[in-house]
Structure 1
Amino acid sequence: MKNLFIIRSPLQVLNAYEAIAHFKLKNNIFLIVQNHLDKNNVQMKEMLSMCEYEELIEMPPSKSNYFRYVALTRKLKKHAYNFIFFGNLGSFQKLLLANLEYEKSYLFDDGAYTLEYHGELPGTKQYTSIRDIRFLLAGLSIKRKKPVAYFTIFDLERKGEEEIVLHSFYHLKKGMGDILTLNNNIYFLGQCFVSADVVSYEAYLHYIKIVKNDFKGEKIVYIPHRAETITTELKKLEDEHFKIFENTMPIEMYFISQKIKPKCVVSFYSTALFTLSKIFDKSIVKSYAICEQDLKAKRKEGALLVQYFLKKAGLEVGTVCFNQSQEASHV
């Protein structure tokens, strides 16, 4: 039997590598689902060489996916599977879980999605959207056959009899060996808070200034998120101690490829902090929480959920706040 990996992000490639080694998997099919963010697609493609697979299927972005989903589902139905891995449960993933023959399915980590899905994903009760119903016209099922298990670094609270396989990137770290060299820079991971409508641009710029001030006198390397825009105001913050470095690969892979063991990594509620704290367990990893009143309503619940897990993991060091009528504050 085969194993199917449905991959949509660079982090999911890392998790696929770890899952293949953890479960000792052979006969792997990689289904790469691309999006409209070129950096995301390039990073995924560059990382594929680290994984063992026998077949690669690529899905470029498209405005309409119905016929592609139907055709691919029928193609993949020709095989039986031990495991199916995926990072989010969209229409296509649900379609595959409803129609393929498999032993188990695992949701592996894709940032905050893992935490949100674990909170929302029902064990037996399933919800069907109008978009899902259209697949019935093609003679396909729309109800998944089995419960979803988890392959994760997060300390999730088990619900009922669900299976949670906890890992700490043991195999990835084992492959690194002792080749890394300690680097004394402060690596500051940027986030796409503004484009994702989490906080205002003014607030985010103030947060950056707060962190910069906290590490005054030390060399800070600011690494923007792949979906973050480098503005003129952000560029103006550069000086001899604060440099912007536009990285072309996931931060985890950048450190590994450059043989860097970071002394300290800081960010806000980036889930990259979880992976880095596992991979570089001797490094200092810090998170600045954002005060609740700064978070925009539609993103507040997800942000607070990630911040809860960061605090639970002991990675939170303080809170940054912003008020338009005042200077930014630091708690």
Structure 2
Amino acid sequence: MFRDADQAILVDDGAATLSIYDYLLRPSSCMLPVKLFDCSAERLREVNQIKLQLGMLIRPRQVKIFSVFNFADSTPGRHQFRLLKNALGCPSTPGNYWHFIGSPVVEKNIASAPEYDAVLVDAIESRQHQGQAVYIAHRAENLADKYDKLVALGFKVIRSEQPYELLLLQQPDYPASVVSFHSTCLFNLAVIFGDNIEKICYQLCDSTLRQLKQLYIMQNQYSVYQHIDSIYQRLPDFNIVARQLTYQEPA
């Protein structure tokens, strides 16, 4: 059982793992427990007492991360999607289309709707040579607010309940490029398809990023800006092209 284990393995839950590693695990030399919330000494004693009552050992434990990312001091082996590719195969020829993976950055108040629209317009204008534009909606998006705009821009809109990677591996060919914001999918595609697919990450504009420095995750452990910057820092390692608009919010 976990309560008696000397070591724990964290199975990667996407790019969010990057900031967890950078700001929680690495500073603790990848040892558990780590501090997630500020609390008083009295509260900490209460937590430890509950753990003892449950038979949990209060001692440090090492944690390793199974991930597509390379955490040199905490990796039991990198995820290569071998089982998935062996089971489904992998498309080997490009199609005459490209994908934009939707993001709920507007719904989560990370970016404004006008900034999101500006990215869509730029993507359409810069990828006309790659054929049909296909918009893959994120499950957390409010598609009703975007659908008419997307169609007017020329997107074919798809909403799928399947993970994007699984959807892609079941196709007869692969898109010429995949465009998104700071999506885990871009990193996963780099592992599955290598450089066969061009991968573009639209970075949020500077004014938006500055505002996110004031929005914190897990109380004051790290900001949303730091979380997103952890993702941006890894883009070159996966040959993901960063693109940023010089967008200004209307006065």
- Smaller-chain TM-score range? 0.7 to 0.9
For residues 127 and 233 of structure 1, the distance between their equivalents in structure 2, rounded to whole angstroms, comes to: 40
Distance in 2, matches of 1:168 and 1:268, equals: 22
Q: TM-score, normalised by structure 1?
A: 0.60
Partner of 1:237: 150
Are 1:314 and 2:223 matched, yes or no?
A: no
Between the two structures, name the one with larger relative contact order (CA 8 Å, sep ≥ 6).
Answer: 2
Q: Tell me what 2:208 maps to.
A: 294
Look up the SS of the partner of 1:318 in the other structure: strand
Counterpart in the other structure of 2:220? none
State the SS of the aligned residue for 1:245.
strand
Deviations 1:136-190 (A, max 9, x none): 374342746520012111133x34xx44422322332233336665322111101
Q: Does 1:155 align with 2:80?
A: no
Which is richer in strand?
A: 1
Q: Which residue of the partner structure matches residue 8 of structure 2?
A: 105
Instruction: Determine if contact 2:32/2:63 at 8 Å carries over to the other structure.
Output: no
d(CA) in 2 for partners of 1:142, 1:174: 41
Q: Deviations over 1:97-148 (max 9, x none)?
A: 4x1x346422222122210121121233634665981733743427465200
User: Could you tell me the percent identity over the aligned residues?
Assistant: 24
Code of the residue aligned with 2:33 in structure 1: it is Q
Counting matched residue pairs gives: 226
Q: What TM-score do you get using the length of structure 2 for normalisation?
A: 0.77
Letter in 2 for 1:292: D
Given that residues 99 and 134 in structure 2 are in contact (C-alpha distance below 8 angstroms), is that contact kept between their aligned partners in structure 1? yes
2:102 corresponds to 1:190: yes
Shift of 1:246: 1.0
TM-fit CA distance, 1:213: 1.6
Instruction: Mark the runs of 5 or more structure 1 residues left unpaired by the alignment.
Output: 1-76, 78-96, 327-331
Unaligned runs of 5+ in 2: 38-42, 216-223
The aligned counterpart of 1:268 is 181
RMSD of Structure 2 on Structure 1 (CA) = 2.8
d(CA) in 1 for partners of 2:136, 2:128 = 17
